[in-house]
Structure 1
Amino acid sequence: MKARNIAAAALMTAAGTGAVQAQSTVTLYGVADVNVEYANHVGAVPVATNQFNRGQGHDVVRMNSGGLAGSRWGIRGTEDLGGGAKAMFVLESGFSLDSGTLQQSGRMFGRQAFVGLQRAGLGQLTFGRQYTSMFEALANFSPTAYATQYEPVVLQSGANFREDNTIKYTGQFGPVTALAHWSFGTGLALPATVGVATPIGGNGEVPGSFRRDTAYGAAVAYAAGPFGLTVGYDQWNPTIGTSSGTLRKAAIGGSYGFGNAKIMAGYRWGQNKNAGGTVIQRDDLYWIGALYQLTPAVGLTLEYHYDDLKSLAGATQLANPWQIGFVANYAFSKRTDVYLTTAYAKNAGLMLESLATVYANSLSLGNSYALGNGERSMIGAAVGIRHRF
């Protein structure tokens, strides 16, 4: 992404601040991404307002914001404090380009909002709303790079992949990146749905309770030459009833590049327990895919996900969800491209949306990918344009 740099000196006019102005920068950046999509067998997200009924599946044709990347605008900045130390901040707002409304539950800076300090050789420490360590580490091992339209990111990294009230450490040591984080209260609340009798999570920190709605995780990534590898762990302790559950995930991913191609693969172990310690979900997610730069302007991506769903809400005889997705994009320039994205999902909606994800994708995007009653598959295709600034 080519960003527009704005010198801090342009924002400050007071005399005697020349030294600070010369060492401080603020960057304005963003993405505007919109598409028109067709999908079939689409039902309603089963929540209390519709008596937990997905209804009949329908074909839909609709405009969406975010196909290859979530539409956003942001500001980031740094100040050189001397001696290899810097202060830094990021404020990033997600919005729906088709309607102009805010995403991430109406937060002004719902994608990211943090401030921190960094020092060469030691790393950086940041405070605020941030991505989890495992989510960030897996970003370079997901072939479609977390494409908004059909990537099953919630099943992979958890609905809590962004968390409020978070302290995060990031260290870069040659080819190795180390990450660790702690959230005092994730700020994620999911409503009750079919198979889930009570809401999950809460709106933030819980006074008098050190554990409820907290979360933590860590990850290590290695990248050198054509080879990459990462491992990570994530745990969320959401409010369930009057106590807290335990949602755990661990993942490993690898990549290898050669010529104009790159292959990626990964595995994610998952186990969710309710407040009483009973397992409510256990699964193993696998993925593999490849990128190929056909010409300097044309890029192709193919990705496959398979979830071995061992148990869910007491059921053990379950049809395993899987999805195959394909993306083709044509770049007019480094900033503007057009694309076709399509996917087919079996035993779940697109993005592998089902009770296993607590329908968090649909609730977040505002467009349902829940299967209609009696349906077993869903196909979708979208044509869009993306501009980065």
Structure 2
Amino acid sequence: MSLKRTALASLLACPLAAVAQSNVTLYGVVDANIEYVNHVGAVPTSANQFNPGTGHDVFRLTSGGLSGSRWGMRGMEDLGGGLKAVFVLESGFGTDNGALQQSGRLFGRQAFVGVQDERFGQLSLGRQYTSMFEALANFSPTAYATQYEPVVMQSGPNYREDNTVKYTGKFGPVAALAHWSFGAGVALPASVGLPIPIGGNGEVPGQFRRDTAYGAALVYTIGPFAATAGYDQWNPTIGTGSGTVKKAVVGGSYAIGPAKIMGGYRWGQNRNASDTLIQRDDYYWIGANYQVTPAVQLTLEYSYDNVKNLYGNTGVPNPWQISFVADYSFSKRTDVYLTTAYAKNAGLMLESLATFYANSLALGNNYVLGNGQSNMLGVALGVRHKF
């Protein structure tokens, strides 16, 4: 919602003169649900000797079903001649416990400032989404739903990065994105298969490559058809050197009346600090949205990962997942939903060693399979309010 000067000045505790020439918007989402999941183990770390233990059923209150709970501010100042100053500060929090998410960062979802030109696009600096992640936003059937979307499998655990310079531009039907991170700020603990931590903050004197990342993407939209292609690379710290996590993607969508069909393919290859192959896979997804009535939308999505090599194991069972969402909108701001997913050969969100268990570590809600289990079912009923 847009705030008047007096309200904004009171809210931000800033002098009125400091905001008089700016347009600032306060916004957010609060999303929570009651969830049931079966066959849940523990994230395998050094604390439990990399043993997920026995799988159990769990009933819990979960934050972020269709959207991650958040609040934020975005602003713009017209500098004249088609040039604008822009900023975004966005904080993620758990509706279930009120705690900060994204490793306790105050503005862990986004925090950047930049300049925007009507003809040439936007240049921004700060914590931002990767080019590939942003380009794929309109090609995900569940619209990056927080609860069961295999987002780490698709875009990598580094889909948000610190210390990033990013360019976005729109040229007719084509949108172009590119970014460079001086230190991605993604740090994952040691886990089975890779018993040393991976990632870090980077920006280390004399080690320019350490934890850097970069990528680019294009999106083409004309009428009901859209297509995208992108590339992403992250060079995380592994031991005393840096590895390489590479991903390339193509996707497409087509709208037909009240329905929209979309899908894509992502190529992936990870190597350790000595350039030895540790992971190689091909990930596919397809799905559709159907607007049954102005208030009711149904979503179906199928995801499949062809694992060719995982830490030297070439016989890993290929994981797949099917997801379904029924969403009912009371208004433009408030809706209730039923979301459910079934995963085979991995936890929900295709959570496994192949995703570095990053979903469970980030969300605080575990989707790791217990010992001896090969499938996982999740069902959640929730409410979401946007402001």
TM-score scaled by structure 1?
0.96
- Matched residue, 2:385: 387
| 2:145 maps to amino acid | A
Q: 1:71 touches 1:94 (CA, 8 Å); kept in 2?
A: yes
**Whole-angstrom distance in 2 between the partners of 1:215 and 1:187:** 10
- Matched residue, 2:126: 128
Equivalences, count:
382
- Matched residue, 2:342: 344
**Whole-angstrom distance in 2 between the partners of 1:343 and 1:207:** 45
**Whole-angstrom distance in 1 between the partners of 2:239 and 2:5:** 48
Q: 1:289 touches 1:302 (CA, 8 Å); kept in 2?
A: yes
Equivalent positions of 1:32-181 (< 5 A) are 32-181=30-179
In the TM superposition, what whole-angstrom CA distance separates every residue of 1:20-59 from its partner, at most 9, and x where no partner exists? 83x5200000000000100000000000111110000000
In the TM superposition, what whole-angstrom CA distance separates every residue of 1:286-326 from its partner, at most 9, and x where no partner exists? 00000000011000000000000000011001100000000
Q: 2:5 touches 2:16 (CA, 8 Å); kept in 1?
A: no
Question: Aligned-pair distance for 1:14?
Answer: 6.0
| 2:357 maps to amino acid | Y
**Whole-angstrom distance in 1 between the partners of 2:255 and 2:327:** 19
**Whole-angstrom distance in 2 between the partners of 1:370 and 1:205:** 32
- Matched residue, 2:319: 321
In the TM superposition, what whole-angstrom CA distance separates every residue of 1:217-271 from its partner, at most 9, and x where no partner exists? 0000011210000000000000000000000000000000010000001000000
Unpaired runs of at least 5, structure 1: none
**1:186 and 2:213 matched:** no
- Matched residue, 1:331: 329
Q: 1:206 touches 1:213 (CA, 8 Å); kept in 2?
A: no
**Whole-angstrom distance in 1 between the partners of 2:84 and 2:179:** 20
Q: 1:187 touches 1:205 (CA, 8 Å); kept in 2?
A: no
- Matched residue, 1:258: 256
| 2:233 maps to amino acid | Q
Check 1:244–1:334 CA distance in 2 against 1; reply closer, same or farther (3 A cut).
same
Equivalent positions of 1:240-319 (< 5 A) are 240-319=238-317
**Whole-angstrom distance in 2 between the partners of 1:65 and 1:257:** 31
Superposed CA RMSD in Å reads 1.2
Question: Aligned-pair distance for 1:197?
Answer: 1.7
**Whole-angstrom distance in 1 between the partners of 2:184 and 2:5:** 32
**Whole-angstrom distance in 2 between the partners of 1:25 and 1:174:** 26
**Whole-angstrom distance in 1 between the partners of 2:5 and 2:233:** 39
Q: 2:86 touches 2:115 (CA, 8 Å); kept in 1?
A: yes
Secondary structure class of the residue paired with 2:307: strand
- Matched residue, 2:3: 6
| 1:228 maps to amino acid | A
Structure 1 residue ranges (4+ consecutive) displaced by more than 6 angstroms after TM superposition = none
Among 173, 195, 198, which residue is 2:196 paired with?
Answer: 198
| 1:257 maps to amino acid | A
Check 1:35–1:14 CA distance in 2 against 1; reply closer, same or farther (3 A cut).
closer
In the TM superposition, what whole-angstrom CA distance separates every residue of 1:111-132 from its partner, at most 9, and x where no partner exists? 0000000111100000000000
| 2:245 maps to amino acid | L
**Whole-angstrom distance in 2 between the partners of 1:45 and 1:343:** 20
Secondary structure class of the residue paired with 1:156: helix
TM-score scaled by structure 2?
0.97
**Whole-angstrom distance in 2 between the partners of 1:354 and 1:292:** 31
Unpaired runs of at least 5, structure 2: none
Question: Aligned-pair distance for 1:203?
Answer: 2.8
Check 1:122–1:7 CA distance in 2 against 1; reply closer, same or farther (3 A cut).
farther
**Whole-angstrom distance in 1 between the partners of 2:148 and 2:125:** 30
**Whole-angstrom distance in 2 between the partners of 1:7 and 1:161:** 34
